[in-house]
Amino acid sequence: MNTSLIFGILGIGLTVLSIILFKRKRYPGEISFIVQECIDLFDSIVQNFNSISIKFKNRNINKDVVYLKGSFINTGDIDIRTDMVEENLLITLPEKFKWLDAKITNSSSYTNKSLKIIDNRKLEFELGLFKKNEFIQFELILEIHNEQRISSTKLLENSIKLHHRIADTKKVIKRELTENKLDLKVALSMIAVFLLISMLSFLNIDSDPTVLRFTDVSTNIDVSPTYYSDGAVKLKGIESKFEDDTTIEELLCSGKYKPKIFKLSEISKIRSILTMSRLSILSFGGVIVMIIMMVIIAYENKKNIRLRKIITDK
Provide the 8-state DSSP code for 171.
Answer: P
Mean pLDDT of 63-86: 90
Q: How far apart are CA 205 and CA 275, in angstroms?
A: 10
What is the per-residue pLDDT across 113-138, written as a single tens digit (0 to 9) for each?
899 999 999 999 999 899 999 999 99
pLDDT at 203 over 60: no
Residues above pLDDT 70, as percent of the chain: 63
Q: Please tell me the predicted confidence (pLDDT) of residue 135.
A: 93
Closest Cα partner for 188 from 294, 301, 298?
Answer: 294
3-state secondary structure of 236: strand
Closest Cα partner for 95 from 67, 121, 72?
Answer: 121
- 224 touches 236 (CB < 8 A): yes
Residue-range domains of the chain with CATH: 29-176 (2.60.40), 184-301 (no CATH)
> 5-19, 34-48, 106-120: which has the minimum mean pLDDT?
5-19
Q: Please tell me the predicted confidence (pLDDT) of residue 9.
A: 58
Give the pTM.
0.60
| Confidence label for 270 from pLDDT (cuts 50, 70 and 90) | very low
Higher pLDDT, 33 or 302: 33
Neighbours of 242 (CB within 10 A): 15
Neighbours of 121 (CB within 10 A): 19
Cα–Cα separations (whole angstroms), residue 97 to 56, 58, 63, 141: 16, 20, 13, 11
Which run of H or of E encompasses 280? helix 269-313
Q: How far apart are CA 185 and CA 188, in angstroms?
A: 5
Please give, one letter per residue, the 3-state secondary structure of 82-111: HHHEEEEEEEECCCCCEEEEEEEEEECCCC
What is the per-residue pLDDT across 52-62, written as a single tens digit (0 to 9) for each?
666 667 776 66
pLDDT at 161 over 70: yes
Give the distance, in angstroms, between the CA of residue 159 and the centroid of all CA atoms in the same chain: 22
Mean pLDDT of 245-252: 85
Instruction: Dump strand ranges (E) for the chain.
Output: 31-40, 55-56, 59-60, 65-74, 85-92, 98-107, 114-117, 122-126, 135-143, 161-166, 173-175, 210-216, 221-227, 232-237, 243-247, 257-263
pLDDT at 169 over 60: yes
Higher pLDDT, 296 or 175: 175
Count of CA atoms in the C-beta half-sphere (13 A) of 195: 9
Residues above pLDDT 90, as percent of the chain: 23
Q: How far apart are CA 77 and CA 169, in angstroms?
A: 10
Higher pLDDT, 78 or 13: 78
Burial class (CB in 10 A: 0-12, 13-18, 19+), 59: exposed
3-state secondary structure of 56: strand
